[in-house]
Amino acid sequence: MLRKIPIPLVVLVVITVLFLPGSSRYHQLQEQKKILEKKIADLQKANTDLQERIHKLQTDPVYLEQVARDKMKKTREGEIIYRTR
């Protein structure tokens, strides 16, 4: 009875059973790789932006004053701040 099944069919079934789960896992890992590459690109962009901001803070006194005034609520000596509602 086993002799009636063609050998190429048996080989095909064995190969399919052995490699199909691996192929599925491969595609899953490829998708995960794409997601991680996107995250890496986003983080590299954010890192570049922060490095540029640090450079501006270290070299541009006007920018430094603007940040100090906006973020830290600093004032110039003798300057009076009036707040309105």
pLDDT, tens only, 15-58: 877 777 777 888 999 999 999 999 999 999 999 999 999 999 99
| 17 vs 42: CA distance, rounded Å | 39
The pTM of this model reads 0.58
| 20 vs 7: CA distance, rounded Å | 20
pLDDT value at residue 2: 52
| Measured CA distances, 41 to 30, 49, 51, 58, 65 (Å) | 17, 12, 15, 26, 31
